[in-house]
Structure 1
Amino acid sequence: MKKFEEKTIHSNRLYEGKIINLKVDDVSLPNGHTSKRELIEHPGAVAIIAITTDKKIIMVEQYRKALERSLVEIPAGKLEPGEAPETTAMRELEEETGYTAEKLVKIQTFATSPGFADEVIHLFAAEGLSKATNGAVLDDDEFVELMAITIEEAEQMVADERIYDAKTAFAVLWAKQHLLIEN
């Protein structure tokens, strides 16, 4: 038995979307009582830390409707059904940034919002960057500005809350440590 496990008594799917599904589960709690859990199902995602030979981090700035503002983020994207995270990461890196990588190194897999969502992000470092022949190939509904910034600029963007999401803040910390080790 899992510590503090909540067993599902009944599940009611309220919405099935292109990116997420929403359901409400009735659960039995460890103390014998029952409760409801509002849950989001997500297929998972990847995120890529891409550092150029001149020690700049490739970022994209894009509008995030949920927060009603633009954010600076590392390249990322949703897993497609049956697609390996490494495949998604290579595809998203090229589509969003116009870069390809010789190699991907897995850094971490982590939950984004475990209180209500099952989404996990697979975080990779891209090594051996080069410009793709096609450049960035964005989806029809995707509008991003590409930028290459220093670790100091990234830290300032975290302080200014231009970098505001957890995956990118984690990536900045990782990149700083990684760049310090290399020097």
Structure 2
Amino acid sequence: MKVLKFEERTLSTEKIFTGKVISMQVDEVELPDGKIAKRELVKHPGAVAIIAITAERKLVLVEQFRKALERTMLEIPAGKIEPGEKPELTAIRELEEETGYRANSFKYLQTFSTSPGFADEIIHLYIAEDLEKVDQPAAGDEDEFIDVLEVTVEEAEELIANERIYDAKTVVGVWYVKSLQFD
């Protein structure tokens, strides 16, 4: 449900960049008090993230370098929604591409925004259980270099404390699993 309290009415939009993953624009808006302001916005097609849990009740994480932060990070599997693709299909595809697993139980949990102050990206969060290894998994992105590891909830909490898990979607995923007392 959209709440429009303090709505900022768009007066004009200037597109300043269109890339493979995002586009950027500057909107001129009228504020609730009638004043005019500019808003720099990042537009994103949306993404999925998957809390994948093994039969041993471990979380499946991927390790990869993130250029924006200039560091290697541990994250739950995730990926961008392709044009016309339903989020659940993206989640199934990304789980296999990034981890080599398929899930016999896939459940939608929540959708949330990542940085609403300047970006419209939303993430659809799923939980995947009853995993099975795929003999020949679908190929991932050719510019993606990933290691897969499995950790307990306690190990994941320690990785958060040590800032090896540093991104919001993964922290949310770990806290969700902890709330279910899967350990």
Whether TM exceeds 0.5 here: the answer is yes
Counterpart of 1:43, as a letter, is P
| Counterpart for residue 168 of structure 1 | 170
Percent identity reads 56
| Counterpart for residue 159 of structure 1 | 161
TM-score by length of 2: 0.96
Counterpart of 2:79, as a letter, is G
| Counterpart for residue 90 of structure 2 | 88
Alignment of 1:1-183 (within 5 A): 2-135=4-137, 137-178=139-180, 180=181
How many angstroms does 1:137 deviate by? 2.6
Counterpart of 1:102, as a letter, is N
How many angstroms does 1:123 deviate by? 0.2
Residue aligned with 2:128, SS? strand
Structure 1 runs not aligned, ≥5 long: none
How many angstroms does 1:128 deviate by? 1.6
How many angstroms does 1:135 deviate by? 3.7
Alignment partners' CA distance in 2, 1:177 and 1:52 = 17
Contact 1:97/1:136 (<8 A) preserved? no
How many angstroms does 1:136 deviate by? 6.3
Counterpart of 1:53, as a letter, is A
How many angstroms does 1:177 deviate by? 1.4
Residue aligned with 1:66, SS? helix
Alignment partners' CA distance in 2, 1:80 and 1:137 = 15
Contact 1:99/1:136 (<8 A) preserved? no
Structure 2 runs not aligned, ≥5 long: none
Contact 1:94/1:136 (<8 A) preserved? yes
Alignment partners' CA distance in 2, 1:52 and 1:137 = 21
Alignment partners' CA distance in 1, 2:91 and 2:53 = 15
Alignment partners' CA distance in 1, 2:167 and 2:156 = 13
Alignment partners' CA distance in 2, 1:169 and 1:19 = 23
Counterpart of 1:21, as a letter, is S
Counterpart of 2:171, as a letter, is A
Q: Number of residues paired by the alignment?
A: 181
TM-score by length of 1: 0.96
How many angstroms does 1:103 deviate by? 2.5
Alignment partners' CA distance in 2, 1:95 and 1:106 = 19
Alignment partners' CA distance in 2, 1:70 and 1:57 = 18
